[in-house]
């Protein structure tokens, strides 16, 4: 995640990069703002900038600085695979983890969730992604103990040891108390980012030990979704048309276009496709409006009816599997071609 990918929050971003450049990094910070407004995006871009080996300071524009996006550290953090980046978040029991849930049990799912929603997903959407029904997620004492342990070890790559706690207001009292000493006296080279929407439920002893950064309220998610639609809608619609014909020569050429996007853009594209399929499903089952943006009114009216209760699970599973494969460095063209066949089969099952 680079700062340039975030809609708005320029004043906050510029202040943060200036602090990093001056060498006055606070080891424990609380980023407060709605996820819709980019709080998690800012946190991830902040850490990428912190570790970047070739920071850039462009002339002109509204950003004073950004990460290069190309060095090994940038690529690892962008993929959420940096060995010194540790992510913690609310969890609950599921059909797979039936007792004592903790963040380490759901690392792959959380990375998929971030990729699918471009780090703008809400807490309710995270719970839906986990499939925990009406259960309330929590950051538990086991998570706090894992944080203490991770920060007590040497950095694998010799740089910063980084912890992100998403939704710290979901920490129970035992977890919060476990973290107090670490927040007050973090080990050398550690940075802890608490990324929350409200500090009202945080213990006063937590709030007194962190530097608070407040994001501006806005419509970052809506603006980001509009930007994704503008970037990917033509490619998606062209691909969807071909899934009905399955002419191999044309489909292969289309998959080549998608594979040429690069790994991070492929993940964005598939995340956008998931949102479109979800909107189509809500349109066909509940009559909610959906806009594909194909420029063809007949196609825009017809396609949403193809996503129904009979195939939405197959569609979601196919997209989830493709995201999972690409995140783990699978060959893009093979993953996308397999996805094409699975979606074609699912859409014909309506």
Segment 149-199, tens digit of pLDDT: 999 999 999 899 999 999 999 999 999 999 999 998 888 999 999 999 988
90 has a pLDDT exceeding 60: yes
Segment 25-71, tens digit of pLDDT: 999 999 998 888 899 999 999 999 999 999 999 888 889 999 999 99
What's residue 261's pLDDT?
A: 86
Q: How far apart are CA 260 and CA 22, in angstroms?
A: 38
What's residue 219's pLDDT?
A: 54
**Domain termination site, one of 191, 218, 245:** 218
Same domain, 126 and 38: yes
What CATH number does the domain containing 126 carry? 3.40.50.300
Same domain, 226 and 157: no
Predicted model pTM: 0.69
Q: How far apart are CA 69 and CA 118, in angstroms?
A: 16
DSSP-assigned beta bridge partners for residue 190: 161
**Domain termination site, one of 218, 248, 276:** 218
Same domain, 292 and 175: no
Same domain, 275 and 329: yes
Same domain, 196 and 251: no
**Domain termination site, one of 218, 250, 269:** 218
Same domain, 111 and 236: no
Confidence band, pLDDT 50/70/90 cuts, at residue 221: low
Same domain, 227 and 211: no
Say which residues have a Cβ less than 8 Å from residue 313's Cβ, sequence separation at least 6.
Answer: none
Burial of 124 (0-12, 13-18, 19+ CB in 10 A): exposed
Segment 279-335, tens digit of pLDDT: 888 888 888 777 776 667 777 888 888 999 999 999 999 998 998 888 788 888 999
Are 143 and 102 in contact, with CB atoms under 8 Å apart?
A: yes
Range of the domain at 289: 221-347
Same domain, 261 and 162: no
What percent of the chain has pLDDT above 90?
56
Same domain, 46 and 194: yes
Taking phi over 0 as left and psi of -120 to 50 as alpha, with beta for the rest, 118 belongs to left
Same domain, 115 and 236: no
Same domain, 162 and 39: yes
Q: How many domains does the chain have?
A: 2
Same domain, 195 and 308: no
């Amino acid at each position: 995640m680079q700062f340039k990918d975030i809609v708005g929050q320029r004043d906050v971003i510029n202040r943060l990069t200036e602090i990093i450049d001056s060498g006055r990094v606070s080891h424990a910070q609380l980023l407060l703002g709605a996820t819709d407004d980019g709080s998690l995006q800012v946190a991830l871009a902040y850490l990428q900038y912190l570790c970047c080996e070739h920071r850039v300071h462009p002339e002109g524009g509204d950003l004073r600085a950004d990460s290069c996006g190309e060095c090994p550290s940038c690529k690892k953090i962008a993929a959420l695979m940096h060995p010194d980046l540790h992510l913690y978040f609310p969890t609950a029991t599921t059909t797979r983890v039936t007792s004592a849930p903790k963040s380490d049990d759901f690392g792959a799912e959380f990375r998929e969730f971030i990729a699918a929603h471009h780090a703008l997903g809400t807490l309710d959407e995270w719970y839906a992604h986990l499939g925990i029904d009406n259960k309330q997620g929590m950051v538990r004492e086991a998570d706090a103990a894992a944080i203490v342990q991770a920060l007590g070890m040497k950095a694998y790559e010799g740089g910063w040891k980084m912890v992100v706690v998403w939704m710290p207001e979901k920490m129970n009292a035992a977890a919060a108390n476990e973290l107090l000493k670490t927040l007050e006296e973090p080990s050398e080279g550690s940075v802890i980012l608490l990324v929350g929407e409200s500090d009202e439920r945080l213990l006063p002893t937590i709030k007194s030990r962190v530097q608070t950064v407040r994001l501006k309220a806005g419509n970052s998610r809506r603006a980001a979704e509009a930007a994704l639609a503008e970037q990917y809608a033509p490619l998606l619609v062209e691909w969807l048309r071909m899934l009905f014909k399955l002419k191999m020569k044309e489909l292969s050429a289309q998959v080549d276009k998608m594979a040429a996007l690069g790994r991070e853009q492929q993940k964005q594209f598939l995340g956008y496709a998931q949102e479109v399929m979800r909107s189509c499903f809500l349109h066909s089952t509940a009559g909610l409006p959906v806009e594909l943006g194909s420029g063809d009114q007949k196609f825009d009216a017809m396609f949403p009816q193809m996503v129904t209760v009979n195939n939405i699970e197959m569609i979601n599973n196919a997209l989830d599997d493709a995201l999972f494969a690409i995140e783990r460095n699978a060959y893009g063209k093979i993953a996308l071609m397999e996805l094409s066949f699975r979606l074609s089969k699912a859409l014909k099952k309506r």
